[in-house]
Structure 1
């Protein structure tokens, strides 16, 4: 029998917003687990205490944004529309049925102006992280790191090539210090001649780069298997115990993964108090200097094995030469010495240069198989971090190494997949590296909140 319903939405009911939100709703559990009132102390100095028009409650502003990142609502205009009709969202923000939802432009202006340069979202992320640590969800012993690309709000049509100053990165500054220490050691022992003033290898201070005129902070991403264009890189470190994100850093898309890594490890140890013992990372983070620096910090680094080795134009390889540590020289298969001649800087490494005497090479019957046509004697380059790499990688076949790399795939790649699917990490709507970092911090905060509530039941 056909049933027609009419006039069912004009009845008056005596009901409260509290009655409309299910007791098992996620936002109820979140409100119970997290006290968001700490936000008042974070932003108090951004408001005038006794003058001006009353502003929107800052806790409401932050929760407003969190709703978007928790439920994958990318547009602030769309968040406003959803809060208007969703009773659970209203309850979470503390808005009654007849309260007006803050306009999306109010949220936008607070992000762009009031909160600009104040690290509000960094403090929010770290507050949630400390809660996870207090509840025993962060072990801090094994930290896993990876990066993912996030599309910038920039068009190909706005790209232009310019000559720009080469940026001095934390990685290069550390490499400079290691080079200076090694040069002082070799020169003081007489192993190499002191470098004459003005003879240092000078790199060009200008480099050609593709810049977006709409978002100059973004970088051109050109990597195999990745979409080409203007992007940012979101570097995240995840604790291996329960997959809680413990650090977020953002760089332009053309930056090398290894550049911010050591600084972030030190930040996690000193600022967050994590006692890191082992770390897992993608192969892009496993440069020889990083292995040495991690060894100096007492941390064992695990990265995937090398996919290739050095290529030689001649038959005799470096493995055919024996290194004499006592004399600090190499011995060729016929017993001739390759002595230390100089110290040279490469892009991401520093090498000691060993070279055979030309007379010895000219008289050798294996000259054509040992020395290429472009050289007069055999030369061997030895990375100054080589021994540290060998010590760090000696456990590559152990079960712990394989387990940590497996955890990195599960937690790092799984976290990025979850954030891109549900927590707005696919692309950016705002411009500038500060806005990009705020976006990535909010996405990671949303993921941490969900994992925290899941672990706590």
Structure 2
């Protein structure tokens, strides 16, 4: 039999509890156990006036932002609508049914003001990392690093070719916020000072973003999201926004390793990365700090004509010379210099040469230097560190490290596909940094919730 038609009937009184209507296995219940915002008000105290109208609770704004980034709600206007309608979101944000949700414009005012001035989002991220360490998810022994391109909120139609771009003609007083941030980062190693090469195009709306075709497809403006993770459970221990060029991404490695050492006293015994990070200066920097580089060496010394490569020559460190397969010596200097300015400098690239008369009568000249009078070999400044990395690449631990490196790539896939951060919504270096920090915080909170889910309560009969 068909039941009666359902009609809404207004009641004079309601007995309603948000706590009873949020499922026990809801993700936000597990996340809420690890969100510690008790220190935010004290942290921001110096950035609020002691007079005037009371502001929106900063803890409420942070909780709403965490909801947005945990569930891929990219628009703050839509976020306010979702928090208004969703009971679980209201419960997490400590809002009752009758409490009003803040206006979306409140986020912009606080983000561009006190949140950035106080570096609150960095503080929030590091608080989450500290909780991961406290829960035993981070050992600090093995770390991996990588970068992912995130499309900027810019397009080619509103850009200028490098031949016509001149930053000195910009008036900071009349420039938009993203342009002023671009001018402030011209001397920073992560942005303007990372490379002297000018990009092919510069965006008018976000000039700090990099025009790149690194994905082997149509070029676009982007920023690089750099992650330093602990490979035990894939926890992100640091994050940095840079230009989308190799020099800036590699340079961020030093910045993040120094920061985790200072903030959390984490000093890894090995660092795992791909070939882009296998440059001599970075390998030398890691070896000097007793960090084993589990990184493929970025090496262009190989030859494709079948002749002997540098790897076929034996290095004699004691006598500062190479020994060729025929047993002849290749030396950098063959006499002592009385003038120290004419001797070896110890910097840059050194070149080792064999004697011309030896190479001319050598039976293996066709395999060694068929088109030259004598064989020459270049040796980088950090060749010892590069050789250490080559030796590590022959070990079983290195094979395990290459498998563990996939954890950081999985985090980037999760960032784009689950959290929806395929394109930035905020502009400028500060906007990119804000989004990357919030996204990394959300990923760490989701990791904690996955490893330590909220205990399930049995329902009453």
**Smaller-chain TM-score bracket:** 0.7 to 0.9
- Find the counterpart in structure 2 of residue 236 from structure 1: 227
Q: Would you say the 8 A contact 1:344–1:353 is kept in 2? A: no
Seen in structure 2, the aligned counterparts of structure 1 residues 208 and 267 have a Cα distance that, compared at 3 Å, is: same
For 1:322-362, what per-residue CA distance to the aligned partner results, in whole angstroms no more than 9, with x for missing partners?
444333233456665433157699xxx93211134456556
Q: Distance in 2 between matches of 1:205 and 1:90?
A: 50
Cα offset for 1:377? Answer: 4.0
Q: Would you say the 8 A contact 1:71–1:423 is kept in 2? A: yes
Q: How does 1:3-402 map to 2 (within 5 A)?
A: 3-12=3-12, 13-49=14-50, 51-162=51-162, 169=189, 207=198, 209-225=200-216, 228-256=219-247, 257-304=249-296, 310-311=302-303, 315-319=307-311, 321-332=313-324, 337-340=329-332, 350-358=348-356, 370-371=368-369, 377-402=374-399
Q: Distance in 2 between matches of 1:395 and 1:323?
A: 17
Q: Distance in 2 between matches of 1:131 and 1:217?
A: 33
For 1:201-240, what per-residue CA distance to the aligned partner results, in whole angstroms no more than 9, with x for missing partners?
xxx9674643111101111222254652101111101112
- Find the counterpart in structure 2 of residue 187 from structure 1: none
Aligned-pair RMSD on alpha carbons?
3.1
Q: Would you say the 8 A contact 1:292–1:385 is kept in 2? A: yes
Cα offset for 1:402? Answer: 1.5
Q: Would you say the 8 A contact 2:277–2:298 is kept in 1? A: no
Q: TM-score, length-normalised on structure 1?
A: 0.82
Runs of at least 5 residues in structure 2 that lack an aligned partner in the other structure: 168-185, 334-342, 454-461
Q: Distance in 2 between matches of 1:418 and 1:167?
A: 33
Q: Distance in 2 between matches of 1:9 and 1:286?
A: 69
Seen in structure 2, the aligned counterparts of structure 1 residues 335 and 121 have a Cα distance that, compared at 3 Å, is: same
Q: Distance in 1 between matches of 2:151 and 2:197?
A: 26
For 1:53-85, what per-residue CA distance to the aligned partner results, in whole angstroms no more than 9, with x for missing partners?
211000011111111001110100110110111
State yes or no: 1:430 paired with 2:426. yes
For 1:68-104, what per-residue CA distance to the aligned partner results, in whole angstroms no more than 9, with x for missing partners?
0011101001101101111111122122211211011
Cα offset for 1:14? Answer: 1.9
Q: Distance in 1 between matches of 2:428 and 2:212?
A: 16
More strand by share: 1
The count of corresponding residues between Structure 1 and Structure 2 is: 421
Seen in structure 2, the aligned counterparts of structure 1 residues 333 and 408 have a Cα distance that, compared at 3 Å, is: closer
Q: TM-score, length-normalised on structure 2?
A: 0.82
Cα offset for 1:267? Answer: 1.7
